[in-house]
Amino acid sequence: MQVKTWKVLIGFVLGIAIASLCGIMLQAPSEAQSLDALLTQEEIAPVQINQSQTLNTNPNGFVPRLLRQSEQPSSNRGVIGADQRQPMMSRDYPWSTVGKVVGLTEKNEKYACTGTLIGDYHVLTNSHCVYDRGKLAKKMIFLPNLINGRLRKKTDYAVVKEVFAGTKNSENNSADDWAILLLNKPLGEKYGFLKWKSLSFSVLQDYKKKLFVTGYSVDYPDPKRYADLQAGKGETAGVHIGCSVVGELDGMFVHDCDTNSGASGSALIGKIDGAYHIVGLHAAGLKSRTGKGLENYAVQISRIEAEIKKRTGN
């Protein structure tokens, strides 16, 4: 009887220990690590290229074998109407593919955008996230799946080596406000990556309220609503699930996904034929005089594909 009691007790303790370990693995860390020094430590400066390297040809992206998939972003430019964002707290795919792009301008001014892994070494973001008045950033790093200011592992960041962009002057060419970044590490092998899919506006009407956007906006999360996210605004991505492409204007999609400054470069993502695909790239927003969001704009994937084909012949 005494032996049986000890077996039950040991099993109970082991169960708690395993559950605790699983909790540590599945939940985002509660305290932020210092990432500011990374920009000044790294010696690699990005260079502009005019011809894209061949991207991974898998039409459905890549989900690492050890990475789970989940449709839920939480384990437990302008905002259109009421803010419908929720914090991205998941380490699962496809949320693992989204990260924060941090750069340093020629004037040593720090800035941040959002990017999405589209290959082992490649990230998709906006051109205006890498060029400031036509000048390329001095340094850039990519922080995958940043949650509450923390990476899954401290060394899981990559430096941007090369930039392949649709334009250097997005102010006068918003429709081509895209850039592909080449990293110095194959982060896509660990975090997975998405592929894009060129869909027309008419086809995207079949995906009304079925798209989502994940971005590191400077106004999110609100510490009054999420007191446990102590790293502050812009250190955890906000997710708007159930948004739509609602129109077209000047070669861009008009969408109603909630974003703000810092979410530039966020991908419009949809689940198509059972796989997650990027169907647009958030680039800009229109606000009223009072600061209320009116509508947001996204780069069309067809323009990215056309420019790559034009420059590479592929």
146-163 pLDDT, tens per residue?
A: 999 999 999 999 999 999
Tell me the β-bridge partners of 272: 275
d(CA 147, CA 137): 25
Query: Given this model, what pLDDT does residue 12 score?
Result: 38
Instruction: Give the whole-angstrom CA distance, residue 245 versus residue 238.
Output: 19
Domain boundaries, the chain: 37-50+73-312
Alpha-carbon span 67 to 73, nearest angstrom: 14
pLDDT higher than 60, residue 294: yes
pLDDT at 201 over 60: yes
* Dihedral sign for Cα atoms in the order 131, 152, 215, 120: positive
The arithmetic mean of pLDDT across residues 134-154, rounded, is 94
User: In this prediction, what percent of the chain has a pLDDT beyond 70?
Assistant: 77
Predicted pLDDT at 276: 96
- 232 or 101, which is more confident? 101
Classify burial at 114, counting beta carbons within 10 Å of its beta carbon; exposed 0-12, middle 13-18, buried 19 or more: buried
Average of per-residue pLDDT values in the chain? 82
Closest alpha carbon to 204 in 272, 296, 289, 303: 272
Q: How would residue 313 be classed by pLDDT, with cut points 50, 70 and 90?
A: low
8-state DSSP, 36:
T
At 293 the pLDDT is 55
What is the rounded end-to-end Cα distance, in angstroms, of the chain?
74
2-6, 151-155, 185-189: least confident range:
2-6
What are the pLDDT digits (tens) for 220-233?
A: 788 778 878 888 88
Q: What is the mean pLDDT of residues 308-314?
A: 78
Superfamily of the domain at 37-50+73-312: Trypsin-like serine proteases (2.40.10.10)
The residue among 301 and 26 whose pLDDT is bigger is 301
Report, as an integer, the average pLDDT of 124-144. 94
Neighbouring C-beta atoms of residue 50, cutoff 10 Å: 8
**Encoding tokens for residue 182?**
């080449």
Alpha helices (H) in the chain, listed in sequence order = 2-26, 37-41, 188-191, 201-204, 301-312
Of 245, 282, 231, 291, residue with least CA distance to 113: 282
187 vs 1, higher pLDDT: 187
Whole-number pLDDT of residue 314: 60
Do residues 220 and 232 lie in contact, with contact meaning Cβ atoms separated by under 8 Å?
no
List, in sequence order, every beta strand (DSSP E) within 166-232.
Answer: 179-183, 195-196, 211-215
Higher pLDDT, 74 or 171: 171
- pLDDT at residue 248 tops 90: yes
Of the two residues 113 and 27, the one the predictor is more confident about is 113
166: pLDDT strictly greater than 50: yes
Q: Which residues pair with 255 in a beta bridge?
A: 245, 296
Picking from 254, 215, 257, 250, the residue whose alpha carbon sits closest to that of residue 235 is 215
Q: Which has more confidence, 266 or 26?
A: 266
The answer to whether residue 141 scores a pLDDT higher than 90 is yes
Instruction: Please answer whether residues 219 and 233 qualify as being in contact, where contact means their C-beta atoms are separated by less than 8 angstroms.
Output: yes
Euclidean distance between CA atoms 69 and 89, whole angstroms: 13
Is residue 180 predicted with pLDDT exceeding 60? Answer: yes
The predicted pLDDT at position 258 comes to 80
Higher pLDDT, 111 or 294: 111
Q: Considering just the CA atoms, what is the radius of gyration of the chain in Å?
A: 20
Task: Quote the pLDDT of residue 232.
Answer: 84
Q: Contact, 134 vs 169, CB < 8 A?
A: yes
pLDDT of residue 47: 87
pLDDT in tens, 10-43: 443 444 343 333 333 333 333 455 666 677 666 6
Q: How far is CA 24 from CA 19, 29, 155, 314, in A?
A: 9, 8, 18, 45
CA dihedral 165, 168, 169, 174 (to 10 degrees): 0
pLDDT at 277 over 60: yes
Helix (H, G, I), strand (E, B) or coil at 311: helix
pLDDT of residue 148: 92
Tokens representing residue 80 in the block: 């259109």
Residue with tokens 């250190």: 235
Amino acid found at 199? L
